[in-house]
Amino acid sequence: MSSKHNGVFKQIIVLLLALLGALLVGALFLILAKSDPIKAYGVMFSGPLGDKFGITETLVRTVPLLLVGLGIVISFRSGIINIGAEGQILAGAIGATAVGTSLSDVPAMILLPAVFVAGGACGAIWGGIAGWLKARLSVNEILSTVMLNQIALQLYLFLIRGPLIDPKEVSYGTGVPQTALIPEQIWLSRLVPGTRIHSGLIFALVLAVLVYIFLWKTSRGYRLRAVGAGSEAARYAGIKVEWYLVLAMAMAGGMAGLAGVVEVTGVHHRSLEGLSAGYGFSGIVAALFGRLHPLGTIPASILFGALLVGADMMQRAVNIPAAMIMVIQGLVVLFVVSSDYFLRNPDSIVKLKAKFLGQKWIGEVGSKWKDS
């Protein structure tokens, strides 16, 4: 087995151990919540894979997670942290809905691409704001994206409760905060009849391949990664660092905006309250678990899509708080980020093994890990 394959195998093992560690610590919280962790985890892992409904719902959740995760890969690889995907999803969703409902007489072959372009552009603009603030004014991107999330949320709620509210809600006096349905001719087709899984899954998978090609096979993608690897060295090499920071955040925002578009065109067919369902933050976890690689984000998104579906089933089966899945996700982030330290510093793994298993590990087994 080549050293490259050994490295990939080692990363997979470390990630699985990180996930196992997070679940073990999460079990302690389940015990504190007076729930049976074995039963809870049994439902969480078996439910999403137990029947057609569970599998298709997992794939429905996978689509926005993957699209957000691809944006996170781009921004993180470029050395800028995007915590604003939640707001960018909403910007994309409301942009797509506005175009779809206002141009309902336009043929579908024109309207559907226009909806995707509008949603992606709105997300890109919202992400690009944070990139520009970072590049020009050195504003911390974590702070700016978190604040932009709140601004986007309030604007979104204002629009679906006011200017874009469904006219039927006004005439009936119900006032449910949601827009009118987009034209049926631009609804994404169902891949499996009788389920919610839609053709947006194919779109997301193709986009993952295109992002991989862009980042690793093009000169512009190389420059983005060079800026992330070392901005000063990149600047010395003649790369316009500030421009690529804005580009990275705009692309990340565009990906999140597309996640909002597929939720509108493929699932809800309108903008409504609670549309995002936390995908903006869960997508970060999926990208980290996929080692910030576009292709690695695909299985990671499927895994966390299953966890989200399983969490809903777990809540109903064992009566635990819905926030518990957020605790488990937070633990996964903590353990995955910690695992990155061990992967970058193999000596620390050897020392840790020696501490708990004896000094002989350094000479007998530890060297094998270091050499792989």
Write the pLDDT tens digit of every residue in 133-171: 999 999 999 999 999 999 999 999 999 999 999 999 888
Domain assignment of residue 346, yes or no: no
Among 218-232, 316-330, 357-371, top mean pLDDT goes to 218-232
Segment 233-261 shows an average pLDDT of 96
Q: Say if 348 falls within a structural domain.
A: no
User: What is the per-residue pLDDT for 6?
Assistant: 66
Q: Is residue 309 part of a domain?
A: no
Summarised one tens digit per residue, pLDDT across range 45-94 is 888 888 899 999 999 999 999 999 999 999 999 999 999 999 999 999 99
Please indicate, yes or no, if residue 233 is contained in any of the structural domains. yes
Flag whether 15 is in a domain: no
The pLDDT tens digits for 88-102 are: 999 999 999 999 999
Question: Is 108 inside a domain boundary?
Answer: yes
Residue 294 near residue 212 (C-beta atoms within 8 A): yes
Q: Judge whether 118 lies within some domain.
A: yes
Number of domains composing the chain: 1
Domain that residue 240 falls in = 62-302
Q: Is the pTM of this model over 0.75?
A: yes
* 364 in any annotated domain: no
What does the pLDDT read at residue 321?
Answer: 74
